[in-house]
Every structure is written in structure tokens, then in C-alpha cells.
Amino acid sequence: MKIALIGYGKMGREVERVAKLRGHTVCAIIDKSEPAATYKEVDGSGSCFKDADVVIDFTMPAAALTNISRVTAAGKNMVVGTTGWYDSITDAKQLVGQSGIGFIYSSNFSVGVNVFYRIVEAAARLVNKVPEYDVFGYELHHSQKLDSPSGTAKSIAEILLKNIGRKKQAQYEKLERRINPDEVHFASIRGGSIPGTHVVGFDSEADTIELKHTARSRAGFALGAVMAAEWLKGKKGFFTMNDFISDFFR
């Protein structure tokens, strides 16, 4: 495939490295602050990715919907790894539907994290039957991460709420009170160079069960994004990483 990258920060560079290892070509790099970029911005005509088979976006939440609108207008398939823009998903779905492209997004493209989601889901269904267990979560990320909680933390909390009937709401902020029985507290820590760690705990008076995923580098995220782009080839519609993983493990 020929891939256009929107965003050439640490993730963009890792996507480029992994894509080349898998035999693909990066035909365009769009980044306003990168001297080596072929384009400084996503222009309205879409000429910056005219030669691309697929566009992969790892940028800023505020730019996501604009980038989606311009990629869909150009009729190019798109992979969006940017997080924090999900209030605009309805608009994105409409744009994708009108354009007829293939589109996939995820809060975390790591294949390992998506396997972890399924492990958490299976554990939550078991714990749902044992009311003696409470549930909690926390995540750690590097000091440069822009969003808190992470999109991955929110996805995990949503899995817990969906599968544990006694839990109705997630709390991500510091609490100046006792946590309510129907709440899940999911805390965030930022510091250093941590690529990403997520922990889910189930605790009773007798014992504690903990599930943990630790990323050692950004390579897993980049690999998942490129694999998703490969999977998207020839498809039309609005997909999530869960669609890819379901197909992958079918």
C-alpha cells in the first residue's frame, strides 16, 4: 500500500518504520512542525494524499474531525489513532457514509491491548456473579500525554460497566468523598516516559485479582494501526478495532 501520514510525532515515525518493514510505502507526510514533512497541512483539495491508498492519522483531538472531513472528501480510506475527539463520532459516521470509504478508529490500536479488552470482559462477566468483589482500575502514561484519562482507560471502564450489573458509573477524578457502591474508580497517573500501563483489579475481603497490560514501546500501537490499514483494503463503512480483532480471531 501507499500510505499518507497525518502527524509525524513519535507515533507517526513509528508507524512509518513498521509500515516500511511490512513492505508498504509512505508517500506523504503531513505535519506543520516537521521540517522533513512533504506537506505542512491537510489542504482542502486533498492533493496532499492524492497518491495514497490509505491515510493514517495520529494528531490532535481538535484537528481530527477536520482531517476526517478532508480525507473522506478525497475518497481515501482512513485509520484514526488520535484520541479525545469522540464527541464528534456522529459527524464522522455521516461523513464516512456519504463518501463510501473504509474507516477505522480506536482508542488503542495495540493488538495486545485489544486482547486485554477481551480478557477484562470475560473476567467482568465472572465477577458479575460474585457480589463480594468490588472493582477498580488505574493507568500510567508518559508526562507528554495530552488526555487524561486515556481513551484506553475509558474503553476498559465501559467494558466493566457493561458487564458488571451492579456498576453504573465510572469516576475518573479525585474523590473528596466515599465512592458509591455503583461506581468504578479509574485513576490516571502521568510521569516519565511510560508508553502505557493499564491495571484492572477485583477485590474482596479474602483476596485480590489483578489484570495488567504493560506496553514496552509504541511498536505495538503502530503495528496494530498498519494491520488495521491492511484489513481495511477493499472495505467500505465505519469500523472500530473491535471489528478487526473479531475478524482476526474468527
Whole-number pLDDT of residue 44: 79
Share of the chain above pLDDT 70, in %: 100
Q: Which of these, 243, 139, 112, 149, lies nearest to 200 by C-alpha position?
A: 139
Selected from 3.30.450.20, 1.20.1050.10, 2.40.10.120, 3.40.50.720, the CATH number assigned to the domain covering 2-109+219-248 reads 3.40.50.720
Active site residue 145: yes
Q: Which of 141, 154, 185, 198 is catalytic?
A: 141
CATH 3.30.360.10 fits 111-215, yes or no: yes
Q: Which of 2, 10, 93, 145 is catalytic?
A: 145
User: pLDDT tens, 91-114?
Assistant: 999 999 999 999 999 988 999 999
Active site residue 141: yes
Q: Which of these, 14, 83, 4, lies nearest to 43 by C-alpha position?
A: 4
Whole-number pLDDT of residue 46: 82
Whole-number pLDDT of residue 55: 97
Summary mean pLDDT of the chain: 94
Domain boundaries, the chain: 2-109+219-248, 111-215
Do residues 72 and 96 make contact, with C-beta atoms less than 8 angstroms apart? yes
pTM summary value: 0.82
